[in-house]
Every structure is written in C-alpha cells, then in structure tokens.
Structure 1
Amino acid sequence: MFLIGSFIVFALFFLNVALGAFANNAFLGDVGEMLVLFVASLLFVVAILKKEADRSQEDGSQ
C-alpha cells in the first residue's frame, strides 16, 4: 500500500516536471515540488522498512 502510494506521488512529481519542461505549465512551485518529492521518498522508505520487518518475522530472525 505504501509502495503504491509512493509511485502515485512520484508520478505526480514527474507529471509536474514534464509539464513544466515541455508545456511551460507546471502546477506546483518549487516548495510544492520539494514537498511532493519528500512525501514520495518518505512513503518509499516506509514501504521498504515494512517489507524488511515482514521478511525478518517470516525468517524468525530478530
């Protein structure tokens, strides 16, 4: 769930950058881009940490 959210938020960031580069019509400013990229990174890290926790629980390791 967090990984899908990360991909969706990153797609929003990519769409904004692409619109700004090709159509000169970006809908987010600099701070908005930074926040969207930060949220995408945060969701990705949470997804990876949850995956690691699930895997270590299955293996029985601490």
Structure 2
Amino acid sequence: MNDEPDKRERKIPPQDPRQDRLKRALRENLKRRKSQARGRATVGIDDEMSSVGDGKE
C-alpha cells in the first residue's frame, strides 16, 4: 500500500553546472535590461516635462 515514496521526500537531481551558469547569466541579463529600460523611461519623462510650457509649439 505505502510502497510509493512520499512526493515531498523526492530527491532533487544534481544540476548541471553549465545550466546553473546559464541560469545566473540570464537572470543578470534580465536585471540589466530592466534597469536600462527604467532609465530610458525616466529620461523620456524628464524630456517631456522640460518641454512642457517652454512656449515652443
């Protein structure tokens, strides 16, 4: 009846070091791209705000 091992006690297979390295690299790349996108978004807002009300239409 209880010959089946408990699902919670399942051992996690060892990860391939290459997969770990790639996973970390992708995560860092995503963080960098998000940061760059945030920077571009704030620069765009600053440019819009500086041109509002300057009389150049």
Tell me the equivalent position of 2:15. 28
Q: Which has the larger radius of gyration?
A: 2
Tell me which residue corresponds to 2:36.
49
The code of the aligned residue for 2:12 comes to: N
Question: Which runs of 5 or more structure 1 residues have no equivalent in the other structure?
Answer: 1-22
Q: Name the % identity.
A: 10
Runs of 5+ consecutive residues of structure 2 not aligned to the other structure: 1-9, 51-57
**Residue in structure 2 matched with residue 38 of structure 1 by the alignment:** 25
Q: Which runs of 4+ in 1 moved over 6 A?
A: none
| Bigger mean CA offset, 52-61 vs 40-49 | 52-61
Q: Normalising by the residue count of structure 1, what TM-score does the alignment of the two structures yield?
A: 0.54
* Structure 1 residues 26 and 40, CA gap change in structure 2 (3 angstroms): farther
The alignment yields a C-alpha RMSD, in angstroms, of 2.1
TM-score by length of 2: 0.58
* Counterpart residue type for residue 34 of structure 1: R
